[in-house]
Amino acid sequence: MKTMPAAESKYPSTPIQFDSELIGKVTQQGPRYTSYPTADRFSANFQMGDYLQAVAQIKSGGARNPLSLYIHIPFCQSLCYYCGCNKIITKNHSKAETYLVYLKQEVDMQAALFAGMNRVEQLHFGGGTPTFLSDEEMGDLVKHLRKSFSFVSDAEGEFSIEIDPRTVDPARIHSLRAQGFNRISLGVQDFDPEVQKAVNRIQPEALTIRAIEAAREADFKSISIDLIYGLPKQTVMTMSTTLSKVIAADPDRISIYNYAHMPHLFKSQRLIADDEIPSAQAKLDMLSLCVRRLTDAGYVYIGMDHFAKPNDALAVAQRQGRLHRNFQGYSTHAGAEMVSCGVSAISAVGSTYSQNEKSLEHYYERIERGELPIARGLKLTNDDLLRRMVIQMLMCNFELSTKVFELAYPISFSTYFARELEKLREFEVDGLLSIDEDWLTVTPKGRFLVRNICMAFDRYLGMPNLIKLERMQYSRTI
């Protein structure tokens, strides 16, 4: 993947400003841009042969980019009503045994494809609930991955796992560290008991604190907490209490996601009473509170939903212009080929995206035939690659040097993106963006609305036959 030459930032440590009136005025439905083009543009015309060709082109071109491995474990023991992830609710752990047989076969196929360039710098286990697997199953799977790929040292690599504190005890957390994981993310969502009941996720505060303490004792390099605002029965007061507890727990990273209530897409959300969901203004007030409390506590706003301590790897990468965004969110490994295994998992290899089969039945069938279980994907055009880089720069750095961009790509920025720059003038009038001859710079009060700004560069949103059908699937930008 082509990288941009370095450019000295105009505003290396600009604070953020929360303008609730402006946010209320311009917020709309839009993509989160974990990729561009977004996953809803993937086509079933893209199949295994296209993926194999992409890998072959990388090898023939002499590239030896490191790998970022993603492993999807889809199982959960109970249903959280708010969840929109691809998951399978079951208490039958034998299903995991079957799944692991097929998952290892997929791992073997991918490892064979990447022979000679299988250096893994980043590993992420997501789901579902990865800790649905027993300690023995997890240890065996990690051992299989390390036999199949060449992992960098613990000091060099970022090896992370999402956990549900309800499924682990301190001994299990120490075991995860011994198995090679060095970063850990805990789903919390909210500490308030009434909110937890409303979303069917009863998670006593003591369990979460015990997990954080165990992770610290086990010497995890980074501890992250996930929160959600806009859940049923949440108020500014309950959010304030939760934030106090989170800040006291002192995690390295905090993600605060906007709950997107889309029961027409996610059946589980139909179990949430509409009249218990906070109003739009209440949600803005909660977000404003989160921003103020976390920045006052010393956390740096990374972008989108993410905050981190100033010495965390994400904050350091952002200051150095190395921050990247992919299907797992913000990342410090911009040059890595992303190879993903498991049902519904999405890979980003070369100039392609590919997604696995979404149902276990079809996933198993494809692997039984000796095929990579790719169901759909996309080959990026030159225009896609240009726009992806623009969106990456704005999402990660909140600024873009058009002159530096022109050194990397043979275009005149102002000519190629003339229509987009015209759209951006509206954001400039609202004070979200400044535009001059050499720079596009998202202002401190525009940072929370960077998705809106990036949408100006999204060519697919302007297609009349797609916009009505597709944008209804997006969450609101704030």
Helix (H, G, I), strand (E, B) or coil at 96: helix
Q: Can you say how many angstroms the Cα of residue 391 is from the centroid of all Cα atoms in its chain?
A: 15
For the stretch 179-200, pLDDT in tens is: 999 999 999 999 999 999 999 9
What is the pLDDT at residue 135?
97
Backbone angles phi, psi at 339, to 5 degrees: -110, 120
CATH superfamily of 40-341: tm_1862 like domain (3.80.30.20)
Q: What is the domain partition of the chain in residue ranges?
A: 1-37+381-478, 40-341
pTM for the whole structure: 0.91
Q: Are residues 355 and 39 in contact, defined by beta-carbon separation less than 8 angstroms?
A: yes
Q: Report, as an integer, the average pLDDT of 236-264.
A: 94
Q: What is the pLDDT of residue 476?
A: 65
Where do runs of H (alpha helix) occur along 162-235?
170-178, 193-198, 205-217
The two beta strands, 183-189 and 222-229, are parallel
Looking at residue 434, its pLDDT comes to 95
Strands (E), 132-247: 150-151, 158-163, 183-189, 222-229
Condensed to tens digits (0 to 9), the pLDDT of residues 314-362 reads 999 888 888 888 887 888 877 789 999 999 999 999 999 999 999 999 9
CA atoms within 13 A on the CB side of 210: 14
Q: Which CATH architecture has domain 1-37+381-478?
A: Orthogonal Bundle (1.10)
Is the CB of residue 447 less than 8 Å from the CB of residue 477? Answer: no
Kindly provide the residue ranges of all beta strands, DSSP E only, lying in 15-157, ordered along the sequence: 67-73, 75-76, 88-89, 119-127, 150-151
Contacts of 463 (CB under 8 A, 6+ apart): none
Separation of alpha carbons 359 and 219, rounded Å: 37
Burial readout 276-298 (b: 16 or more C-beta within 10 A, e: otherwise): ebbeeebbbbbbbbbbebbeebe
Q: Where are the alpha helices (DSSP H) in 273-417?
A: 280-296, 313-319, 360-368, 382-397, 402-408, 413-416
Cβ–Cβ under 8 Å, residues 332 and 124: no
Task: Report the range of poorest mean pLDDT among 226-230, 383-387, 465-469.
Answer: 465-469
Percent share of the chain, pLDDT over 90:
76
Residue 466, pLDDT > 60, answer: no
Distance (Å, whole) CA 163 – CA 168: 8
Give every CB contact of residue 160 below 8 A, 6+ residues apart in sequence: 123, 124, 125, 181, 182, 183, 184, 185, 222
Residue 477's pLDDT band, with cuts at 50, 70 and 90, is: low
The pairing of beta strand 158-163 with beta strand 119-127: parallel
Both tokens assigned to 307: 């905050």
Does the pLDDT value for residue 90 go beyond 60?
yes
> Has residue 475 got a pLDDT over 70?
no
DSSP symbol at 460: G
Instruction: Average the pLDDT over 288-298 and give the result.
Output: 94
Whether the pLDDT of residue 209 is over 50: the answer is yes
Q: What percentage of the chain has pLDDT greater than the value 70?
A: 93
